[in-house]
Structure 1
Amino acid sequence: MRLNGLSAFPITPATPAGKVDVAGFRALVARLCAAEVDSVGALGSTGSYPYLTRGERRRALDAALEEIDGRTPVLVGVGALRTDEAVALAQDARAAGAAAGLLAPVSYTPLTDDEVYEHFAVVARESGLPLCIYDNPGVTHFRFGADLVGRLSRVPGVVAVKSPSPAEGDVGGRLAELRSVTSAGFSIGYSGDWNAVEALIAGGEAWYSVVGGLFPRTAMAIVRAIREGDVAEARRLNARLEPLWSLFREFSSLRVIYASASLLGLASAEPPRPILPLAGAARAKVAEVLTGLGLDTEA
């Protein structure tokens, strides 16, 4: 599998007890298929994977795959604290029919490069599921250096990296550095919605998008502009979304997307506790931005 284009990451609606709302999740996934996203990212950070049991994660994945019915590849989060648990989740994903797994080095004790390398090598070997490296240092407190990404790119079955988009500086230089150390055919993609467009313009192959999980047509318009070589239009569309990016930076993308889904009647679930839903002035601010950008009409 070669990951490219828009990989859209929806929330996973669930009860306060952690039981997945299968019908609600399928409805969100159906929107992504209708918008013709390039892949669906199930059970990513936006999908609250660490808060769900193995059984509920399988229920969510099965629901997504049933809804998609082979139309769109599914990338699914398989991160866990223990290597054996990550192996089991990756085996579940392969058995269910997922195209690839998204593996973060989830940890309590800080990990070394060698420990992360071994973790990925074991999960790839024992599951047989193609893996995408999930570099999310804001959550895992582990950052993948270029050398480690290069080493992992030569592990059979490790096929891609999902990197945080550079906030500033030489985006092209960072991408060139990764290309120089990774194996042929290895996909380099980016998350962090408000900076991802510049990384795609520089040559990144995939956009792992939170906004794409709820507003796929909006995100696909940016991806299509880049594919067509219309950099000015891609930047214009991205700049137009700055009020939303500002909300993401202020409240976190997870809280804003849950609030947006609720305001638009797309999902009634709240974020998993202890994360509290946005309320009062913060929720009103989200509603104002959605209306001002016309994102309420995409629902």
Structure 2
Amino acid sequence: MSLFGPLVAYVPTPRSADGALAPDVLGDLVDRVVAAGASGVCVLGSVGTFAYLDAATRRAVVAAAVEAAAGRVPVMAGVGALATRDVLTLARDAQDAGADALLLPTTSYLPLTDDEVLGLVRDVAGAADRPVWIYHNPVTTRYDFSVEALLRAAALPGVGGVKDRAPAADAVRARAAAVLAGAPADLEVGYSGDVLGVHGLLAGARTWHSALAGVLPGPYAAVAHLAARRDAEGTLALLDHLAPLVDLVMGSGGPRAIHAVGQLLGLPLGDVPAPLRMPGPDVRAELEAALEAVLDRFADVDAASTSG
């Protein structure tokens, strides 16, 4: 049985004025995402700035998200770290805090080899009591899964899914076709990218993994439900209205800009942790204009009206 549906929303990690975790705000973020129609929540992804948090804070993040989700949707928790021993500790902590699945990036200071990645997945998935999702993020990790390497890793016991990616729409569709053709029948294949990932859904993948959906869940849920029905025309028409905001976000610091979008929406997220810096006033003004255009376009569109 599949664990996740068409949209997994990645929520930021909110901080109070002194930089500490704000668990009540995190709970509100999760509740907001679920109410908007997301079919799953992920914490401690890139937009959750997992690499800047200690183990105790990461466990508290998972616990707050699980409490807020209250069984309505599954919760995935990122467990990325440089050393396998630390990944294993984080995986145990996430399990103990109630996570339904673990997200495993190939985080490393030195770029990993195929054999090292295979060993990492084998060690973590073999020890975990929750299914592991393999996270392909070559921009950050400098490790680029070939389809063959991804399928070898995905076939290991304990792997429940993959969060794959490709650099362009045609490449996403081609890669999704290849992965789906070679993957075990019960593997949940998903694609990331706040625009590109939806092309995976249109190509038959199970899930769209989106960071912007963590702060802008309504529009993303509406697009995801159309794509899950393979309504390419309707999906792409709505996607055109998201693309300018996504382009600006990706060109303005990615997670930093998503954090700023959340603030512009009135979400009390606090700032990203130093040495990261929030976008400046000029970029925030551009983000605000692009965000207003999205909100205007999606004012009368919601997940219920597109889910069929």
Shorter-chain TM-score bucket reads over 0.9
- Contact 1:9–1:208 (CA under 8 A) maintained in structure 2: yes
Larger displacement relative to structure 2 (28-37 or 11-20)? 11-20
- Contact 2:13–2:269 (CA under 8 A) maintained in structure 1: no
Cα distance between partner residues in 1 of 2:185 and 2:69: 30
Is it true that 1:163 corresponds to 2:164 in the alignment? yes
Unaligned runs of 5+ in 1: none
What's the % identity of the aligned pairs?
Answer: 35
Superposed, 1:256-275 pairs within 5 Å as 256-275=257-276
- Contact 1:10–1:46 (CA under 8 A) maintained in structure 2: yes
- Inter-CA distance 199–228: structure 2 relative to 1 (3 Å threshold): closer
Unaligned runs of 5+ in 2: 300-308
Q: Corresponding residue for 1:239? A: 240
Is it true that 1:283 corresponds to 2:284 in the alignment? yes
Q: Which amino acid aligns with 2:283?
A: A
Deviating beyond 6 angstroms after TM superposition, the runs of 4 or more aligned structure 1 residues are 295-298
Q: CA deviation at 1:264?
A: 2.0
Q: Corresponding residue for 2:224? A: 223
TM-score (norm 1): 0.94
Superposed, 1:118-137 pairs within 5 Å as 118-137=119-138
- Inter-CA distance 115–282: structure 2 relative to 1 (3 Å threshold): same
Q: CA deviation at 1:36?
A: 2.7
Q: Which amino acid aligns with 2:260?
A: A
- Contact 2:201–2:228 (CA under 8 A) maintained in structure 1: no
Q: Corresponding residue for 2:42? A: 41
- Inter-CA distance 148–295: structure 2 relative to 1 (3 Å threshold): farther
- Inter-CA distance 70–168: structure 2 relative to 1 (3 Å threshold): closer
- Contact 1:101–1:132 (CA under 8 A) maintained in structure 2: yes
Q: Corresponding residue for 2:86? A: 85
Superposed, 1:138-157 pairs within 5 Å as 138-157=139-158
Number of residue pairs matched by the alignment: 298
Cα distance between partner residues in 2 of 1:85 and 1:53: 11
- Inter-CA distance 229–106: structure 2 relative to 1 (3 Å threshold): closer
Cα distance between partner residues in 2 of 1:161 and 1:287: 33
- Contact 1:166–1:199 (CA under 8 A) maintained in structure 2: no
TM-score (norm 2): 0.91
Larger displacement relative to structure 2 (72-81 or 250-259)? 250-259
Q: Which amino acid aligns with 2:117?
A: V
Partner deviation per Cα, 1:8-40 (whole Å, 9 max, x = no partner): 001101257652111111111110121131100
Larger displacement relative to structure 2 (106-115 or 289-298)? 289-298
Cα distance between partner residues in 2 of 1:175 and 1:64: 30
Cα distance between partner residues in 1 of 2:266 and 2:297: 10
Partner deviation per Cα, 1:162-207 (whole Å, 9 max, x = no partner): 1124414354332222123322211111111121222221112110
Cα distance between partner residues in 1 of 2:6 and 2:298: 24
- Inter-CA distance 5–159: structure 2 relative to 1 (3 Å threshold): same
Secondary structure at the counterpart of residue 160 of structure 1? strand
Q: RMSD of the alignment, in Å?
A: 1.9
Is it true that 1:65 corresponds to 2:63 in the alignment? no
Secondary structure at the counterpart of residue 241 of structure 1? helix
Superposed, 1:187-202 pairs within 5 Å as 187-202=188-203
Q: CA deviation at 1:292?
A: 2.2
Q: CA deviation at 1:88?
A: 0.9
- Contact 2:40–2:73 (CA under 8 A) maintained in structure 1: yes
Cα distance between partner residues in 2 of 1:146 and 1:81: 24
